[in-house]
Amino acid sequence: MSQQVTALPTTESLRERALGSLTRLGVTFEEGDGLRARTPITGEDLLGLSAATPADADRAITAAHEAFLSWRTVPAPHRGELVRRLGELLREHKSELAELITIEVGKIRSEALGEVQEMIDICEFAVGLSRQLYGRTIASERPGHRLTETWHPLGVVGVISAFNFPAAVWAWNTAVALVCGDTVVWKPSELTPLTSLACDRLLAMAADEVAVSRDVHRLVLGDRALGEQLVDDRRIALVSATGSVRMGREVGPRVAARFGRSLLELGGNNATIVAPSADLDLAMAGIVFAAAGTAGQRCTSLRRLIAHTDIADTLVDRLTTAYRRLPIGDPFQEGTLVGPLISGQAHDAMQAALTAAQAEGGEILTGGRRQLADSAVNAFYVEPAIVRVTEQTDIVRQETFAPILYVQTYRTLEEAIALHNDVPQGLSSSIFTRDQQEAERFLAADGSDCGIANVNIGTSGAEIGGAFGGEKETGGGRESGSDSWRAYMRAATNTINYSGRLALAQNVNFL
């Protein structure tokens, strides 16, 4: 049996903790009935907030667009000063922001602090980037000509973020967009309004301190309709949307219809291959965190384990034992590793997936049961589940945003890679092996088809220095590090003629 933390905090104590963090951050807000701040720790409402109206959103877009007209002309290193100060404020208020993340999302303390550290890291990356928005000089075929490529600010970036990383994904987009000369309108998840208010407040503080207009960033709190407003508004040059594949199917075509740009971070159905030569202790650590961490509510969470037949039984036995010892309960309590699911809807989806897996021939080896229902009737704590399957059935090929790990076996690496790639999603992947040839084969062009491919680590826990994103139904977007900044800028090809005569390309003669 999984270990349980039997005593959960009261909703009133969580409300006081949230209000205390907001007060220390200097956050003010208007109470109302348009939006409810809620905690999955008890499954109850914390307080009511006023929601933005369509007119409010229009004013926010207008303000951000007007701010862009001057912000784009500010030298990029000076734009970096705003992000530098934001990073400093995040360091100063790391604890308060992590507290709000735990209250609204249910992440254990170390994961919440890790999310804020990710924000700090991307700010540091973006500050350096502000002096490295490099173009190119290209060899011209015409004498006395110089051919160059330059990059310019794009416009207003509309950020639509999901509940599971309520602060980090915003920071990935906002830090990079700001140094690129863009302004931002942010529509966060309705499930995390308090965390969103805190992030907006810290950026406003940074803007005041470095004498930048607050309108370079505007927050709109509300429901799906506000997100649709960003999607359809022609003044939004780029829509960066994180969420489900269903959402992406709607966002992408609508933005494309008005010839806007979209950056989509959608579903993941991530797999790990465990080879016969793998260090099983290392594999165990990587698998358990990737599959059960954040209660399986990361887009990079491990959903599928593909183990070689020679070691599968041993590995599964060890995983089953480890799963049964996972402490489940209050995410604030030291030692807890698995907090709550975000909602009853997530719990229902998990149970439906387990039922479907059994109907398709799968066997639940451990987990899947609800815990702490007596002490928190409106909260949904579950035992992470391991399901042994004999083939990659329909339910295995779907992403269920919950801690379910499907285990299947393989005999040859070619078979394993084929199983790995035979899903609609293509976000994160990994292999555990001590065979260099196998590792290189997995990373090759005909190996993993995901945007993230790892060797001897799990599928979760990406660093900000590398571009984050995936292929196929994951959407193809890239955020955070590497050269993902180019998504937030427009390229211009420039030809300078200093020859004193007109020379046409391709030796064309006209006059």
Q: How far apart are CA 106 and CA 114, in angstroms?
A: 14
Q: Which CATH superfamily is domain 270-463 in?
A: Aldehyde Dehydrogenase; Chain A, domain 2 (3.40.309.10)
- Please count the CA atoms within 13 angstroms of the CA of 381 that sit on its side-chain side: 29
Q: How far apart are CA 421 and CA 126, in angstroms?
A: 33
How, if at all, do strands 136-138 and 145-153 pair? antiparallel
Q: What is the mean pLDDT of residues 340-348?
A: 98
Q: What is the mean pLDDT of residues 196-219?
A: 98
CB atoms near residue 6 (< 10 Å)? 11
Domain ranges of the chain: 11-266+475-492, 270-463
Residues 324 and 366: beta-carbon distance below 8 Å: yes
Nearest Cα residue to 27 out of 165, 189, 190, 194: 194
List residues bridging with 262 in a β-sheet.
Answer: 239
> How confident is the prediction for the chain on average, in pLDDT?
97
Q: How far apart are CA 301 and CA 362, in angstroms?
A: 20
Q: How far apart are CA 223 and CA 363, in angstroms?
A: 39
- What pLDDT digit, counting tens, does each position of 28-73 carry? 999 999 999 999 999 999 999 999 999 999 999 999 999 999 999 9
Asked whether the predicted pLDDT for residue 3 surpasses 70, the reply is: no
Task: Say which amino acid occupies 283.
Answer: A
Q: Which architecture does CATH list for 11-266+475-492?
A: 3-Layer(aba) Sandwich (3.40)
**What is residue 371's predicted lDDT score, i.e. its pLDDT?**
97
CA torsion, points 465, 470, 471, 474, in degrees to nearest 10?
A: -150
- What pLDDT digit, counting tens, does each position of 152-185 carry? 999 999 999 999 999 999 999 999 999 999 999 9
pLDDT-derived band at 6 (thresholds 50, 70, 90) equals low
Task: Say which amino acid occupies 103.
Answer: I
CB atoms near residue 55 (< 10 Å)? 8
**What is residue 7's predicted lDDT score, i.e. its pLDDT?**
86
| Residue where the block lists tokens 């409402």 | 45
For 219, the enclosing helix (H) or strand (E) is strand 217-219
DSSP 390: S
**What is residue 5's predicted lDDT score, i.e. its pLDDT?**
58
pLDDT-derived band at 2 (thresholds 50, 70, 90) equals low
Residues 279 and 434: beta-carbon distance below 8 Å: yes
Burial readout 92-123 (b: 16 or more C-beta within 10 A, e: otherwise): ebbebbbbbbbbbbbbbbebbbebbbbbbbbb
pLDDT-derived band at 151 (thresholds 50, 70, 90) equals very high
**What is residue 129's predicted lDDT score, i.e. its pLDDT?**
98
- What pLDDT digit, counting tens, does each position of 469-481 carry? 999 999 999 999 9
Residues 238 and 154: beta-carbon distance below 8 Å: yes
Compute the C-alpha angle 285/288/294, nearest 5°. 125
Q: How far apart are CA 115 and CA 130, in angstroms?
A: 23
| Residue where the block lists tokens 């700090």 | 120
List residues bridging with 38 in a β-sheet.
Answer: 45
pTM here is 0.96
Helix (H, G, I), strand (E, B) or coil at 31: coil
pLDDT-derived band at 511 (thresholds 50, 70, 90) equals confident
Residues 468 and 481: beta-carbon distance below 8 Å: yes
**What is residue 4's predicted lDDT score, i.e. its pLDDT?**
61
Q: Which residues are catalytic?
A: 265
Asked whether the predicted pLDDT for residue 1 surpasses 60, the reply is: no
- What pLDDT digit, counting tens, does each position of 303-314 carry? 999 999 999 999
- What pLDDT digit, counting tens, does each position of 378-387 carry? 999 999 999 9
Q: How far apart are CA 155 and CA 160, in angstroms?
A: 16
- Tokens for 90, please give them: 């995040």
CA torsion, points 79, 80, 81, 85, in degrees to nearest 10?
A: 120
pLDDT-derived band at 467 (thresholds 50, 70, 90) equals very high
